[in-house]
């Protein structure tokens, strides 16, 4: 029996127990013996990269690493993704530090929301599932729990449930109130709710200054305008206000609300709502977004070096680029731009477990061991657990990030690094009973700065016209693009798809071909009728091949984050 943990980028960070290579869920309260379809089926079926290649020709690992040692220098870039989120992924920073080279930073994920939380309350802290379980009312705000966070479901049982999502998700179907909000309007809903709460004198006495000014700020928007922007009914909002009157309310916020330039302000406004109602700093209350899993840890891989944005990276400026655990040619926004840039790179190196859109463009391909084949440590962005990841199967068709780094540093003659065990132990010993030190301060809330202004040209973005003058009579313009995660995939890994999910009223039929166009590119897909999608939206999940041909590589106002949904789509038969 080997105890380990899942390294895939997901809220759940499941404990795994393996016997004779067979995986089972850990028996802890959270995982409770149950693993998802990815671990049960897809991971074993996925075909791995078995051999390093240089320009398509198979070579030994020794030859491949020797070639790398010749091309990596100070004009190189490291672009890391989140194919595996074990802490040892970051060990390659030590190599790039010794090279005095550049590292891509920023976020394709939660950066905008996190920046908003940090502006408001200083630190982005999360709430554990056990704490969430103590709430009376749960507001699920742009998080698709049945798909992306399934092990949390038992903690929501028996609670009053509000779901705010432009899609009627599985959890929305079970909700006491589902606000099927217009995309990109959560900021305005949060302001409206704050306004109603204060109008009804529901606010609690607060130690933080600024409620009066904040109330005045919310009053600079007419109620009618806010209702129009959110496209919600006053009656439904009133039901939510009533539920917010409960003593213990938790907001679970997902990445859906903040895939926009104004993502920071959305989280800040949701935080303000919780602060006004006194739903913070005490049992069963709070706002939990994706947390910073490394909070309070001493990170042996933290380095000072030059950085460049992960969102609109100018790859072409670098002679050599190492892509590690990422698939930027699929997962970054504006694929047409990304591919053009990647093609300019003289030495594009791909270090991963599977072939994908990015490996196809690479000159040198290095197979990585996956998280079941190496030692690592798993932290979590939705609780404070820390778990040792132990190798479950032995494999020799790839290399770990640690061995990769150690060998290259040796080859470059730039000294040595510590042994693998000592790095792993340095993480594990910073926790007690499998929980990080940050857990102690979970409810700490020392300061709060209310939002004072908003930098948003809402109407201009709402009225974005994508493609003008299309000749085809069957085209209609101006749909929002919703691009959430898929059940049997983890981002671009595992099951892929080509479905475009739309409401039947849009005039398309199940199984029919459809073309989506934006200012950035075109996607051809197959219609899947889903009447849970708002009529002003199209849903293309993150595992649909080519989805990011449609998305802009603009950077969020705060947090250096991608804005996948800040675009409008034209539909053509």
Q: Which residues bind ligand MGD (CB under 6 A)?
A: 9-11, 81-84, 108-109, 141-144, 147-148, 164-167, 169, 181, 183-184, 186, 254-257, 324-328, 330-331, 351-354, 356, 368, 370-371, 482-487, 489-493, 542, 547-548, 551, 564-565
Q: Determine the length of the chain.
A: 573
Nearer of residues 148 and 436 to ligand MGD, judged by Cβ: 148
Q: Which does 482 bind (CB under 5 to 8 A by kind): ligand MGD, Mo ion, none?
A: ligand MGD
Q: Which does 167 bind (CB under 5 to 8 A by kind): ligand MGD, Mo ion, none?
A: ligand MGD
- The secondary structure of 359-382, three-state, reads HHHCCEEEEECCCCCCCEEEECCC
Q: Which does 371 bind (CB under 5 to 8 A by kind): ligand MGD, Mo ion, none?
A: ligand MGD
- Partners of 333 in beta bridges: none
User: Which residues 6+ apart lie within 8 Å of 430 measured at CB?
Assistant: 296, 297, 298, 386, 436, 437
Distances (CA, A) of 297 to 412, 427, 435, 438, 495: 30, 8, 11, 8, 34
Q: How far is the CB of 109 from Mo ion (least distance, A)?
A: 3
Nearer of residues 211 and 251 to ligand MGD, judged by Cβ: 251
**Does position 486 bind Mo ion by CB under 5 A?**
no
Nearer of residues 331 and 347 to ligand MGD, judged by Cβ: 331
- Let me know: does 548 contact 330? Beta carbons within 8 Å: yes
Nearer of residues 383 and 420 to Mo ion, judged by Cβ: 383
For tokens 């932290």, name the residue.
379
Nearer of residues 211 and 540 to ligand MGD, judged by Cβ: 540
Q: Which does 186 bind (CB under 5 to 8 A by kind): Mo ion, ligand MGD, none?
A: ligand MGD
Q: How far is the CB of 399 from Mo ion (least distance, A)?
A: 25
Kindly write down the DSSP assignment for every residue of 136-159, as one continuous string. Answer: SEEEEES--HHHH-GGGHHHHTTS
User: Burial letters for 2-36: b for 16+ Cβ neighbours within 10 Å, e otherwise?
Assistant: eebbbbbbbbbbbbbbbeeeebbbbeeebbeebbb
Q: How far is the CB of 9 from Mo ion (least distance, A)?
A: 6
- What is the Cβ-side half-sphere exposure of residue 69, based on CA atoms within 13 angstroms? 17
Closest CA to 522 of 483, 553, 548: 548
Distance of CA 32 to the CA centre of its chain: 24
CA–CA gap between residue 255 and residue 319 (Å, rounded): 34
Positive or negative torsion for Cα 305, 307, 310, 316: negative
Stretch that binds Mo ion, among 104-112, 128-136, 360-368, 556-564 (CB under 5 A): 104-112
Q: Which does 4 bind (CB under 5 to 8 A by kind): Mo ion, ligand MGD, none?
A: none
Residue 459: other Cβ atoms inside 10 A: 9
Q: Which does 320 bind (CB under 5 to 8 A by kind): Mo ion, ligand MGD, none?
A: none
Q: How far is the CB of 494 from ligand MGD (least distance, A)?
A: 8
Nearer of residues 108 and 277 to ligand MGD, judged by Cβ: 108
Stretch that binds Mo ion, among 106-114, 350-358, 417-425, 436-444 (CB under 5 A): 106-114
Q: How far is the CB of 542 from Mo ion (least distance, A)?
A: 9
CA–CA gap between residue 351 and residue 374 (Å, rounded): 15
Distances (CA, A) of 568 to 45, 428, 461, 572: 36, 46, 8, 13
CA–CA gap between residue 145 and residue 139 (Å, rounded): 12
Q: How far is the CB of 303 from ligand MGD (least distance, A)?
A: 19
| Number of residues counted as binding Mo ion (CB under 5 A) | 1
- 340-369 positions binding Mo ion, by CB under 5 A: none
Nearer of residues 9 and 28 to ligand MGD, judged by Cβ: 9
Q: How far is the CB of 326 from Mo ion (least distance, A)?
A: 12
The tokens for 158 are 């028996």
Nearer of residues 17 and 372 to ligand MGD, judged by Cβ: 372
**Does position 109 bind Mo ion by CB under 5 A?**
yes
Nearer of residues 117 and 211 to ligand MGD, judged by Cβ: 117
Cα-flanking dihedrals φ and ψ of residue 49, to 5°? -80, 125
Q: How far is the CB of 118 from ligand MGD (least distance, A)?
A: 18
Nearer of residues 109 and 250 to Mo ion, judged by Cβ: 109
Q: Which does 83 bind (CB under 5 to 8 A by kind): Mo ion, ligand MGD, none?
A: ligand MGD
Q: How far is the CB of 209 from ligand MGD (least distance, A)?
A: 29
Distance of CA 183 to the CA centre of its chain: 18
Nearer of residues 109 and 139 to Mo ion, judged by Cβ: 109
Q: Which does 527 bind (CB under 5 to 8 A by kind): Mo ion, ligand MGD, none?
A: none
Read off the DSSP letter of residue 19.
E
Residue ranges that bind Mo ion, judged by CB under 5 A: 109
């Amino acid at each position: 029996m080997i105890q380990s943990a899942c390294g895939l980028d997901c809220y759940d960070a499941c404990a795994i127990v393996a016997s004779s290579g067979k995986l089972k869920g850990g028996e802890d309260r959270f995982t409770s013996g149950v693993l998802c379809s990815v671990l049960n089926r897809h991971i074993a079926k996925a075909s791995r990269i078995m051999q390093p290649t240089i320009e398509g020709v198979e070579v030994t690992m020794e030859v491949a690493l020797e070639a790398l040692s010749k091309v990596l220098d100070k004009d190189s870039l490291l672009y890391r993704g989140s194919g595996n989120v074990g802490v040892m992924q970051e060990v390659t920073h030590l190599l790039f530090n010794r090279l005095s080279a550049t590292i891509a930073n920023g976020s394709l994920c939660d950066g905008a929301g996190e920046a908003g939380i940090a502006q408001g309350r200083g630190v982005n802290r999360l709430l554990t599932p056990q704490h969430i379980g103590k709430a009376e009312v749960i507001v699920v705000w742009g998080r698709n729990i049945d798909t992306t966070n399934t092990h949390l479901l038992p903690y929501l049982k028996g609670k009053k449930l509000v779901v705010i999502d432009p899609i009627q998700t599985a959890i929305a179907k079970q909700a006491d109130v589902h606000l099927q909000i217009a995309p990109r309007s959560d900021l305005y809903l949060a302001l409206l709710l704050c306004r109603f709460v204060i109008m009804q004198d529901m606010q609690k006495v607060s130690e933080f200054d600024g409620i009066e000014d904040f109330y005045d700020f919310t009053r600079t928007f007419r109620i009618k305008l806010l209702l129009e922007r959110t496209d919600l009914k006053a009656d439904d909002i009133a039901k939510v206000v009533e539920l917010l009157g409960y003593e213990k309310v938790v907001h679970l916020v997902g990445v859906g609300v903040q895939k926009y330039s104004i993502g920071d302000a959305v989280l800040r406004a949701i935080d303000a709502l919780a602060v006004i109602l006194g739903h913070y700093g005490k049992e069963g209350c709070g706002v939990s977004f994706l947390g910073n899993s490394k909070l309070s840890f001493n990170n042996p891989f933290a380095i000072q070096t030059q950085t460049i944005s992960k969102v609109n990276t100018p790859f072409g400026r670098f002679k050599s680029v190492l892509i590690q655990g990422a698939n930027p040619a699929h997962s970054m926004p504006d694929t047409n731009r990304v591919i053009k840039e990647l093609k300019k790179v003289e030495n594009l190196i791909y270090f991963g477990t599977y072939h994908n859109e990015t490996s196809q463009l690479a000159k040198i391909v290095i197979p990585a061991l996956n998280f079941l084949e190496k030692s690592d440590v798993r932290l979590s962005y939705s609780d404070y657990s820390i778990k040792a990841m132990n190798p479950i199967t032995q494999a020799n068709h790839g290399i770990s990030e640690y061995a990769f780094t150690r060998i290259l540093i040796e080859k470059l003659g730039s000294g040595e690094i510590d042994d693998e065990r000592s790095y792993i132990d340095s993480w594990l010993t910073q926790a007690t009973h499998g929980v990080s030190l940050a857990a102690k301060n979970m409810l700490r809330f020392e300061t709060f700065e209310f939002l004072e202004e908003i930098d948003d040209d809402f109407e201009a973005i709402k009225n974005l016209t994508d493609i003008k003058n299309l000749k085809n009579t069957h085209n209609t313009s101006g749909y929002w693009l919703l691009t959430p995660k898929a059940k049997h995939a983890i981002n671009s890994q595992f099951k892929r798809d080509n479905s475009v999910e739309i409401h039947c009223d849009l005039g398309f039929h199940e199984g029919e071909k459809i073309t989506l166009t934006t200012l950035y590119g075109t996607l051809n897909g197959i219609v899947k009728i889903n009447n849970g999608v708002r009529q002003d939206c199209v849903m293309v999940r993150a595992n649909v091949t080519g989805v990011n041909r449609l998305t802009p590589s603009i950077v969020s106002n705060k947090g250096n984050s991608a804005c996948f949904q800040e675009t409008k789509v034209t539909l053509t038969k």
